[in-house]
Structure 1
Amino acid sequence: MGEVKVVFQSVDEVMDYLKALEGYSGDLDLQCDHMIVDGKSLLGILSLGVNRLLNLQIYSDNYEELIKKIEFCCRG
């Protein structure tokens, strides 16, 4: 299991993030304050809003590879 902070600067960046997840079978959650959404759901992500610091929970042992694919939106 891994955890990383992400920020999506635009809807296009959200789309790039989702494209990077294609073929990934693990579970992901995105959290902002008290709201938690499926980390693979376009509508869920957009409901959290862009330009907000989100906590991405990765429920997989090989999360390092996934983080490399989405490093463009990772913030620490």
Structure 2
Amino acid sequence: MQKLKIRFQKADDVFQFVKALRQFDFDIDLSSGHQVVDAKSIVSAVALSGASDLMLTIHNDDCGSVIESISPYITA
């Protein structure tokens, strides 16, 4: 499992982010505060997209390909 901070600059970023994540067969969550949603759900991702404290949780030990596919949205 790995956690990453995420930030979207524009609305289209959310759609591209979800599209990239849908190729993976394991669970990936997006959270803000106490709210946790399925990161592969466009409706859920859009609902949280304006938050400043977005965290992505990848529920798999092999996270390299996920990280590569969403690298533009990962913050330090």
Q: CA deviation at 1:13?
A: 0.3
Quote the RMSD (CA, aligned, Å): 1.3
Give the conservation status (yes or no) of the 8 Å contact 2:5–2:55.
yes
Per-residue Cα deviation, 1:17-53 (whole angstroms, up to 9, x for no partner):
1221232111011110111111111111111133623
After TM superposition, the runs of 4+ consecutive aligned structure 1 residues lying more than 2 A away are 49-53
Q: Which residue of 1 aligns with 2:39?
A: 39
Task: Tell me the distance in 1 between the aligned counterparts of 2:19 and 2:6.
Answer: 16
Instruction: Determine helix, strand or coil for the equivalent of 1:55.
Output: strand
1:1-76 equivalent positions in 2, closer than 5 A: 1-50=1-50, 52-76=52-76
Q: CA deviation at 1:72?
A: 0.2
Q: TM-score, normalised by structure 1?
A: 0.88
Taking only the aligned residue pairs, the percentage that are identical comes to 32
The residue identity in structure 2 corresponding to 1:14 is V
Instruction: Determine helix, strand or coil for the equivalent of 2:50.
Output: coil
State which drifts further: 31-40 or 44-53: 44-53
Per-residue Cα deviation, 1:48-73 (whole angstroms, up to 9, x for no partner):
13362311000011112210110000
Give the conservation status (yes or no) of the 8 Å contact 2:37–2:45.
yes
List alignment gaps of at least 5 residues for structure 2. none
